[in-house]
Amino acid sequence: MLAMTVSGGSLTAAQVPEPAPGPDEVLIAVAAAGVNRADLLQVAGHYPPPQGAPAWPGLEVSGTIVDVGSADNATLLGAEVCALLPGGGYAQFAAVDAGLVLPVPENVDVVDAAGLPEAAATVYSNLGYLLGEEAPGKRRVLVHGGAGGIGTFAVQFAKQLAGAETWTTARGEHAKQLEALGADRVVDYRSEDFAALSQEAGGADAILDVIGAAYFEPNLKALAQDGRLAIIGLQKGNAAQIHLGGLLAKRATITGTTLRARPLEQRRQILAEVFEHVWPALDTGDIKPVVTTRLPLTDAAEAHRLMAAGGHFGKIVLTAKS
C-alpha cells in the first residue's frame, strides 16, 4: 500500500506492507487522515511514534472497515468509521484497536469525519468535567488558538454542550467564523490583552491552552477564582516561571495532558465517553467538524507547510484512495 513515510526530516511516498489486524483490531480502508501539529513534530524528529505503532505519521483517520482480527468484531465489517490512532494514518490502510473506533456521525461526510477523533478526544478529556455541573451560562471558558482544528471544536463544545460563555483568542479576520461557531468574544491576540480583558470580565473558569510558556503567566492572570488551566500544546515554548503566590491566591488548578501516550485502556475509555456525551451533538448537527482544506495524501508535505505557516482556519485532511 501507499504510505507517506518520514525520511531525513521530510515526507516521502513509499510502498509499505499492508497491515494485518491483530486479535482486537480492525483494518480500515482509509478515506482521509486528519493533519495535526503532532505530525509536524514527528516529521521533524521531535515526537517519535510509540512502540508498536507504524513509523509514518497520522493520529486520526476515517474510512471503511474491510477486515477484522477476530470473529468478535465481524459485525463491524463494512461500517463507515473514524478512529484515533497512535500513528500510521498517512496511508491507504490502517489497523487500529476496535475500542478506538467510532461510527461516522449522521449527516457528516466520511472525509470530514477524519478531523473529529483527535479534536473530540482532546477537548473532552480536558473540558468534559464542565458537563453536568451548575446551570449553563454560569461559567466562562477561554479557548486559545480558536481558529485551529482543536480550537474550532473546543469553541463549539464549550458553547453547545457546556453552555458556557465562550471566549477565544484568534486573528481578527477569523472573528466572524468563530462567532458563527458560538464564540461570545473573539480576542485578537495581536492587538488585545486577553488577560486584562478576562480580568475585567471576572476571569475565566476554564482555559484550554495550546500555546505553552508564552501564555503561562497571562493565563494565571486571566483565571477566575478556583479556575482550571489545561495545557495541551507548547507552540510557543516549553519552559516558564510560575508566580506561586498568584496560583495560591486563586486556588487555581493546572493540568498538562497528552493523548497519544496514554495507556490503551484510558484511550478506550475516553472514546467511549466521547461517543456517549459528544457524538449525539454531532449526529444532530449542533457540533460540526470544521474541515476547510482537503489535499491528496501525496500532498502531505504541502499540508504540513500550510499548518506550519499559521493563519489556517479549521482542519486539514488528506484524502486517500485504496
| DSSP line for 161-204 | IS--EEEEEE-GGGHHHHHHHT-SEEEETTTS-HHHHHHHHT-E
Residue 160 and residue 108 share a domain: no
249 and 174: one domain? yes
CA-based nearest residue to 148, from 268, 9, 38, 257: 38
Specify if 168 maps to a domain: yes
Supply the pLDDT for residue 239: 67
Residues 133 and 250 occupy one common structural domain: yes
242, 162: one domain = yes
Is there a domain that residue 47 lies in? Answer: yes
Task: Please give the residue that has the higher pLDDT: either 252 or 185.
Answer: 185
Q: 240 pLDDT exceeds 80?
A: no
Q: How long is the chain?
A: 322
pLDDT band (50, 70, 90) for residue 317: very high
Q: How open is the CA angle 16-20-25, to the nearest 5 degrees?
A: 130
**Residue 164 shares a structural domain with residue 243:** yes
Dump pLDDT digits (tens) for 158-197: 999 999 999 999 999 999 999 999 999 999 999 999 999 9
DSSP three-state, residue 235: coil
pLDDT band at 242 (very low <50, low <70, confident <90, very high): confident
> Is 278 domain-assigned?
no
3-class SS letters over 13-39 = EEECCCCCCCCCEEEEEEEEEECCHHH
Same domain, 109 and 141: no
Is the pLDDT at 289 greater than 70? The verdict is yes
Compute the average pLDDT of residues 102-120: 97
One domain for residues 243 and 147: yes
Instruction: Please count the structural domains in the chain.
Output: 2
Report pLDDT for 135. Answer: 46
Q: What is the CATH number of the domain that holds 127?
A: 3.40.50.720
Select from 256, 278, 309 the last residue of a domain.
Answer: 256
55 and 146: one domain?
A: no
- State how far the alpha carbon of 218 is from the alpha carbons of 147, 159, 223, 242, in Å: 20, 23, 9, 11
Q: What is the mean pLDDT of residues 212-241?
A: 83
Task: Note whether 143 and 212 are same-domain residues.
Answer: yes
- Average model confidence (pLDDT) for the chain? 92
Q: Given 3-state DSSP classes, what are the helix, strand and coil percentages for the chain, each rounded to the nearest 5?
A: 35, 30, 35
Residue 72 located in a structural domain: yes
* pLDDT at residue 137 in the model: 53
Residue 66 has pLDDT above 60, yes or no: yes
Ramachandran quadrant class, 8 (left: phi over 0; alpha: psi -120 to 50; beta: rest) = left
Which of 89, 70, 82 is CA-nearest to residue 24? Answer: 70
Q: What is the pLDDT of residue 65?
A: 98
Q: Is residue 81 included in any domain, yes or no?
A: yes
Q: What is the pLDDT of residue 244?
A: 73
**Model confidence over 212-222: pLDDT tens digits?**
778 889 999 99
Strands of 59-211, DSSP E: 60-68, 80-84, 93-97, 101-103, 140-143, 165-170, 185-188, 204-209
Does a structural domain hold residue 132? Answer: yes
What is the distance between the alpha carbons of residues 37 and 248, in angstroms, rounded to a whole number?
A: 33
Residue 26 has pLDDT above 50, yes or no: yes
Q: 9 and 101 in one domain? A: yes
Residue 46, all three cell numbers: 521531535
In angstroms, the CA 233 to CA 252 distance is: 19
Query: 289's torsion region: left (phi>0), alpha (psi -120 to 50) or beta?
Result: beta
Residues 199, 298 within the same domain = no
- Which of 39 and 235 is assigned the larger pLDDT? 39
Contact 59, 37 (CB under 8 A): no
Inside any domain, residue 270: no
Per the CB < 8 A criterion, the answer to whether 128 and 269 are in contact is no
Going by pLDDT thresholds of 50, 70 and 90, the confidence category of residue 241 is confident
Q: Is pLDDT at 236 greater than 90 in this prediction?
A: no
pLDDT attached to residue 133:
59
Which residues form the domain of 75?
Answer: 2-115+289-319
pTM over 0.85? The answer is: yes
Instruction: Judge whether 272 lies within some domain.
Output: no
Residues 1-10: pLDDT tens digits?
999 999 888 9
- Other residues' Cβ atoms within 10 Å of the Cβ of residue 41: 14
Q: What is the pLDDT of residue 237?
A: 60
- Residues 127 and 103 grouped into a single domain: no
Query: CATH code at 96?
Result: 3.90.180.10
